[in-house]
């Protein structure tokens, strides 16, 4: 808000309703959806700095390690977050990762398509499936929980069946060799900033192997995609009219419709964006590891939803933050790797996750009551 | 006062075998508050939905600004300047005042893919629009959920006026409001009239309608009982003409009976 607004409202305050109270900065912070996940992330960092500070978790390759784990989840959490704000769920995200990955690998390895064509093909397929799920949800009025649950099974089954049909196996490898020199493939499986890390190693600020190659050869594209998608999604949500439509659709679809928001299109678009994010992750994985596996992405939809909820989004829609969801994913990655580095039995990770989810939901509920006041 | 903006001639509306409206004649002028009174089931909702373009008349004619119209949708009516504020208000509680004000009609700046919602200008317009209606808001970023029912009603009205309404249809704007909030809403209604809008106010509460209304149209069981200038009728007569009138009298008589029997036993 600009300064003259503040002055104007101060001037008005004298003859305004005497019951309007001053809202403190703390209260303003508390009504931000990101608060929970940002403070959670800080706590988690502090904990592991104390517990596992000397285990290599915060060395350059350790940082890269948990950044990548966070980025994998973060990318799909961004899609799930936008969709949840629009008031819907997608349980087929995980299956979509497996499916899209296979749709890149099979044409590349068995139909001799160039990798970039396969990638575009996978994106087109994923977007049309997202469109289909969205259309079914808005046309039938069925809960997206059920519709996307159906697609969880349909897509997973299709992935395995198609893989067996075309390749007679469930893991299709060798993509990396085929992707050699492909620009679009490099946009997903490559790294950037290699010269910077080489320079850092040459100067001696970064450890290097005996042959002179630095221990980190560049920033993987998956992390770049994470930041890129988070920035774009956040900008669209907070700064454009489409963002306003997404919040309005999730907040009260009937009200939004009555003032002319095309709520059906908004929802279908959000489903397509979710499918897009899942495919970005699938492409990064396939081109990074060089293979597609039919079981990839298993249970990822739930992890994405947990990250989004930890990020402050309401399950009922209309409220949430992409930045919050990214911090939720960061908590995920740090804890998962932190438990590994600190030598704690990794079974505790799930206990921690469940606990975090429960805490986050209760916290969000309290926040919502605060935001909407007693009037709700 | 003879600046006729909207007129119904012998309008009927049937739902299957149900006669919801029968032979309704009604005129609304610019710059007046026209009050539509009737008990539950009198056909008020059907009538306003017909005016708002939700229903088409089964029989009869609908004139708007002198020409005969047939609205195909509420959007159609809205584009011509007939705005309806329903009881649910079409506000999203989790969104800010400004975002609600511009919901579906966002103003933008920039070009091409970088076009964005003009937050500062939108804040200012929303503040001015509300101030013009006599509503003071500290912070346009405040979420609507924290506003009172009366303030929300005023926000919905201010929004309709800002986006060019010439006829404002208000569906039970004072239902479920306290005394003070009711008077705030009625003040906003008077403001809208002063701006030259035609306001159609639907209510079953005569006491809310009487102070602000210029004319009354009474509905009973789908039929119009006529339109009256305020100077022609008293509050009590209006009350009596509504179906509720007789009932209230009966109730008063019964209550009087109770008091008598109480005194007798004492």
DSSP letter (8 states) at residue A169: S
pLDDT at A15: 43
pLDDT over 50 at B200, yes or no: yes
A226 domain residue, yes or no: yes
A94 near A298, Cβ under 8 Å?
Answer: yes
Cβ contact, residue pair A241, B106, below 8 Å: yes
User: Nearest residue of A to residue B88 by CA position?
Assistant: A255
Cβ contact, residue pair B88, A255, below 8 Å: yes
Which residues in chain A have their CB less than 8 angstroms from residue B82's CB?
none
Which residues in chain B have their CB less than 8 angstroms from residue A314's CB?
94
User: The domain B4-233 is classified under which CATH number: 1.10.3720.10, 3.20.20.70, 3.40.50.2000, 3.40.50.300?
Assistant: 3.40.50.300
**B246: confidence class by pLDDT, cuts 50, 70, 90:** low
Cβ contact, residue pair B141, A1, below 8 Å: yes
User: Nearest residue of B to residue A367 by CA position?
Assistant: B94
Cβ-Cβ contacts under 8 Å for A15 (sequence gap 6 or more): B136
Cβ contact, residue pair B93, A376, below 8 Å: yes
The structural domain count of chain A equals: 1
Which residues in chain B have their CB less than 8 angstroms from residue A254's CB?
88, 90
Cβ contact, residue pair A239, B119, below 8 Å: yes
Which of B102, B131, B147 lies closest to A375 in CB terms?
B147
Average pLDDT, chain A: 87
pLDDT single digits (tens) B31-43: 999 999 888 778 8
A93 domain residue, yes or no: yes
A311 domain residue, yes or no: yes
% of chain B at pLDDT higher than 90: 25
Measured between CA atoms, how close is B239 to chain A, in angstroms?
Answer: 33
A256 domain residue, yes or no: yes
Which residues in chain B have their CB less than 8 angstroms from residue A247's CB?
92, 94-95, 99
CATH number reported for the structural domain that contains residue A83 in this entry: 1.10.3470
Which runs of E-coded beta strand occur in chain A?
171-172, 191-192, 219-220, 292-293
Phi, psi of B84 (to 5 degrees): -115, 130
pLDDT single digits (tens) A158-198: 999 999 999 999 999 888 888 888 889 999 988 888 888 88
pLDDT at B210: 86
Q: How far apart are CA B145 and CA A127, in angstroms?
A: 35
Tokens 């046309």 locate to A139
**A4: confidence class by pLDDT, cuts 50, 70, 90:** very low
pLDDT at B220: 84
pLDDT over 80 at A315, yes or no: yes
Cα torsion A341, A345, A350, A354: sign? negative
Cβ contact, residue pair B108, A240, below 8 Å: yes
Cβ contact, residue pair B146, A8, below 8 Å: no
pLDDT at A13: 40
Which residues in chain A have their CB less than 8 angstroms from residue B163's CB?
none
Q: Provide the domain limits for residue A207.
A: 33-365
Least confident of B7-16, B94-103, B238-247: B238-247
pLDDT over 90 at A213, yes or no: no
Cβ contact, residue pair B92, A248, below 8 Å: yes
pLDDT single digits (tens) A104-127: 999 999 999 999 999 999 999 999
Q: What is the mean pLDDT of residues B251-263?
A: 79
């Amino acid at each position: 808000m600009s300064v003259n607004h503040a002055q104007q409202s101060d001037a008005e305050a004298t003859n305004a309703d005497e019951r309007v109270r001053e809202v403190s900065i703390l209260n303003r912070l508390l009504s931000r959806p990101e608060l929970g996940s940002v403070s959670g992330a800080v706590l988690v960092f502090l904990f592991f700095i104390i517990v596992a500070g000397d285990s290599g978790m915060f060395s350059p390759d350790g940082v890269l390690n948990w950044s990548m784990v966070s980025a994998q989840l973060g990318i799909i959490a961004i899609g799930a977050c936008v969709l949840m704000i629009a008031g819907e769920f997608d349980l087929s995200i995980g299956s979509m990762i497996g499916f899209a990955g296979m749709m890149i690998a099979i044409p590349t390895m068995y139909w001799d398509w160039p990798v970039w064509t396969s990638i575009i093909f996978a994106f087109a397929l994923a977007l049309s499936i997202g469109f289909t799920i969205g259309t079914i949800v808005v046309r039938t009025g069925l809960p997206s929980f059920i519709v996307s649950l159906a697609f969880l099974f349909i897509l997973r089954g299709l992935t395995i069946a198609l893989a067996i049909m075309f390749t007679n196996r469930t893991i299709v490898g060798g993509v990396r060799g085929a992707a050699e020199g492909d620009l679009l493939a490099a946009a997903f499986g490559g790294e950037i900033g290699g010269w910077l890390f080489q320079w850092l190693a040459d100067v001696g600020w970064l450890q290097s192997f005996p042959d002179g190659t630095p221990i980190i050869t560049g920033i993987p594209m998956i992390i770049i995609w994470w930041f890129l998608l988070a920035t774009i999604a956040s900008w669209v949500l907070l700064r454009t009219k489409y963002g306003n439509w997404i919040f309005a659709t999730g907040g009260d679809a009937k009200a939004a419709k009555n003032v002319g928001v095309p709520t059906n299109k908004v929802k279908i678009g959000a489903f397509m964006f979710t499918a897009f994010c899942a495919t970005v992750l699938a492409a990064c994985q396939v081109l990074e590891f060089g293979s597609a596996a039919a079981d990839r992405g298993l249970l990822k939809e739930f992890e994405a939803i947990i990250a989004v909820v930890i990020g402050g989004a309401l399950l009922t829609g209309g409220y949430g933050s992409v930045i919050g969801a990214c911090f939720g994913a960061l908590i995920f990655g740090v804890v998962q790797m932190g438990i590994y580095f600190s030598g704690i039995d990794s079974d505790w990770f799930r206990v921690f996750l469940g606990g975090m989810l429960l805490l986050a939901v209760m916290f969000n509920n309290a926040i919502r009551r605060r935001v909407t006041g007693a009037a709700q | 006062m003879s600046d006729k903006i909207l007129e119904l001639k012998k309008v009927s509306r049937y739902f299957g075998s149900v006669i919801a409206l029968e032979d309704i004649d009604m005129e609304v002028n610019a710059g007046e508050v026209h009050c539509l009174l009737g008990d539950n089931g009198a056909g008020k909702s059907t009538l306003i939905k017909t005016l708002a373009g939700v229903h088409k008349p089964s029989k009869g004619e609908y004139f708007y600004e002198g020409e005969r119209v047939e609205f195909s949708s509420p959007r159609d009516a809205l584009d011509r300047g007939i705005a309806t504020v329903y009881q649910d208000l079409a506000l999203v509680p989790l969104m800010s005042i400004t975002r609600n004000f511009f919901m579906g009609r966002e103003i933008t700046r920039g070009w091409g893919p970088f076009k964005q919602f003009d937050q500062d200008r939108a804040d200012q317009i929303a503040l001015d629009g509300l101030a013009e209606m006599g509503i003071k808001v500290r912070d346009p970023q405040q979420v609507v959920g924290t506003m009172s029912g009366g303030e929300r009603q005023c926000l919905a009205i201010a929004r309709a006026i800002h986006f060019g309404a010439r006829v404002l249809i208000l569906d039970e704007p004072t239902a479920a409001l306290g005394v003070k909030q009711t008077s705030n809403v009625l003040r906003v209604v008077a403001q809208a009239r002063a701006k030259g809008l035609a306001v159609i106010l639907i209510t079953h509460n005569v006491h809310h309608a009487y102070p602000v209304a210029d004319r009354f149209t009474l509905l009973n069981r789908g039929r119009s009982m006529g339109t009256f200038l305020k100077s022609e009728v008293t509050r009590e007569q209006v009350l009596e003409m509504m179906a509720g009138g007789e009932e209230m009298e009966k109730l008063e008589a019964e209550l009087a009976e109770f008091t008598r029997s109480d005194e007798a036993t004492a």
